Amino acid sequence: MKNNHWLSPEWPAPANIHAATTLRTGGVSLAPYNSLNPASHVGDNAEHVRENRQRIKFLLKLPAEPLWLQQTHSNQAVYAQTNSSTAIADASYTDQANVVCAVMTADCLPLLVCSTDGLQIAAIHAGWRGLLDGIISNTIGCFATKDLLVWLGPAIGKHCFEVGQDVYSAFAEKSAIFSSAFTATANDKYLADIYQLARIELQALGIKQIYGGDFCTVTDSDRFFSYRRDQQTGRMATLIWRD
């Protein structure tokens, strides 16, 4: 389902699972953060950020304030619970009802995870550094089951994500299978498919139900913030919670 201010994942999640990615519309922030920017670390007006977070809570009918992470491109996942304070991590997971896990992105890959029984959920922020260092594996390891559904949210598309030889070599040294997610261009550069990198890792973990992965934040400027496109910009929030 789609509307003007958020995306709902198209995945067969249990009925008690709720999830969304906010778009850049529907908020109060001024350019270059226009308009629904929930990120407090990008230079936006603090009052505007607070108002945007309140709007997100209202629009999505959130049961609680999300656990807003201080993301550092790490491989750290934290347990989210009622009244959790801000944590330094790049993923959060929970088995508690009415606790909202959230990540913020503007080209990096947001992943949402839920168990097929609807009891466990997670939100993951995966840039290439986090992917390389195992943020997905670390978060999946927090689940009691591998019977999971994963949705790949809006991220930079494979035709826009140019990286250097160092990034390609780091993934190829980790596992040769990652090489299939890179296409060589000129001057020792590569186009990286961040969605494919995530799929490779998820499939290696035995996860077969993988959805989404057909967005490009760079080229879809009407809906998405993009750091690579604009440098100074806002963030989308990708959130998940359960009844």
pLDDT of residue 1: 38
Q: Which parts of the chain sit beneath pLDDT 70? A: 1-3
**Domains along the chain?**
7-155+205-242 (3.60.140.10)
- The terminus-to-terminus CA distance of the chain in angstroms comes to 20
Q: Distances in Å between the alpha carbon of 50 and those of 28, 70, 90?
A: 10, 16, 21
Residue 33, judged by CB atoms within 10 A of its CB (0-12, 13-18, 19+), counts as buried
The DSSP 8-state label assigned to residue 197 in this structure reads H
Predicted TM-score of the model (pTM):
0.96
pLDDT of residue 188: 87
pLDDT of residue 3: 59
pLDDT of residue 2: 44
